[in-house]
Amino acid sequence: MQLNTNPADLAVGVIGAGSWGTTLADLLAQKGYRVDLWVYEEQVKEQIASRRENETYLPGIRLSANIRPSNDLAAAIGGKQLIVVVVPSHTVRQTARAFAAHLADDAVIVTASKGIENGTLLPVTGVLRDVLPHVPTEHLAVLSGPSFAREVARRVPTAVTVACPDDAVAACVQQVFATPFFRVYTNNDVIGTELGGAVKNVIAIAAGIADGLGLGHNSQAALITRGLTEIRRLGLKMGANPRTFTGLAGMGDLVLTCAGKQGRNHTVGEKIGQGRSIGEITAGMQMVAEGIKTAKSIYNLSRRLDVDMPICRGVYGVLYEGHSPAAALKRLLNRELKPELDEL
C-alpha cells in the first residue's frame, strides 16, 4: 500500500492539539497539506481559529492557515488517508474507540504518543491494534526521536525516525513529514522505537531528580548510560533490534530528554529532587508528563518479564511508594557490584 504524498491529494487528520500535536499539524500545513486538527478544549480551538496561535500549549508560534481546528473528532478524521495520533498515551484507548467508526478503510495511522498503558502494559501501537483490529498492522507507524516541540515549531534542525513493518508505508510517511529542517529516517523496529520513546521519560525523571539534588555531570552521564542499558534490556526481552537503541529513538531521545531543561519529565524530577511532592507538582501542570504513568507500567512490565531495571525501579519507588530521592539514590549506589556489559 502506498500513500499519495502530494499535498493536493492527501487528506490529513491530526488528533491532539498539545504542543507536539500542534507542532506536527503546523509542520504538515506549512508544507501545503490541508490539516484537520482535533482539539479537546473549546478555548484552544477558538485560539487557533481566530488568532492562529495555540496560546495554551504553544504560545508565541504563528500557525499556518492550512490548519482547520475542530472539536468534532468524526469530522477531523472522516475520509482522511493519514491520521496522526498525538494525545497523551493513557487516553489513546478511549480516543481510538471514539474515532474507530469514522476511520477510512485505507487509512494509515502514525502515532507520535509515547508511553505504555498501565492496565494492559501495551505500547501505543498495541493499544491501537486492540481497539482497531480491522486496521492492518502495516498501516500503523511510529514517529519518534529527539524533538522538543517548540524547537521544531521554530524550525531548529531536527532528526527523527519513522518505524513501520512495511518499508513502503514507512517511506511514504517519511516523505510526508520531511522538510529541509526536519530530517526523517525509517526503520522497521516498531517495538524498539516505542520502548525507547516510553522508557526514556522515566529515566528523564531520574535525571531531573539528580539535578534537583544538586548532583553533577558525572551523575547525569551515569544515569543516561545506565538508563540506556535498562531500555536495551527490556527491548531485547521484547524482541527489539538492539541497534535501535543506539539511534534516534534510543540514545538520541534519551540524551535530549535527560539533558534538556525544557522537557516536562525532567522538570517533574527536578522539582521532586528539590523537595516538592508529586501531587503538588502535577496540580500545577497544564501538560502531561508521560513518565509519571509510564513509571508504573515499566515497573510492572519489568517484573512480569524478569528484567533488571534499577533506575526505573527507583523512580517508581519515589513516585508511588513514598521513597525519598536521597534513599532511592543510596539504594542505587549500594547495590551489589557487577560487570558493566550484559550478555547479548
Catalytic residue set: 200
Q: How many whole angstroms from its chain centre is CA 58?
A: 17
Distances (CA, A) of 189 to 64, 109, 166, 311, 326: 33, 16, 10, 24, 37
- The one-letter amino acid code at 315 reads V
Are 66 and 91 spatial neighbours (Cβ–Cβ below 8 Å)? no
According to DSSP, the β-strands at 82-85 and 158-163 are: unpaired
Residue in this structure with the C-alpha cell 493513557, named with its chain if needed: 90
Q: Is 117 helix (H, G, I), strand (E, B) or coil?
A: coil
Residues 261 and 57: their CA atoms lie apart, in Å, by 17
Distances (CA, A) of 250 to 34, 82, 224, 254: 32, 26, 11, 6
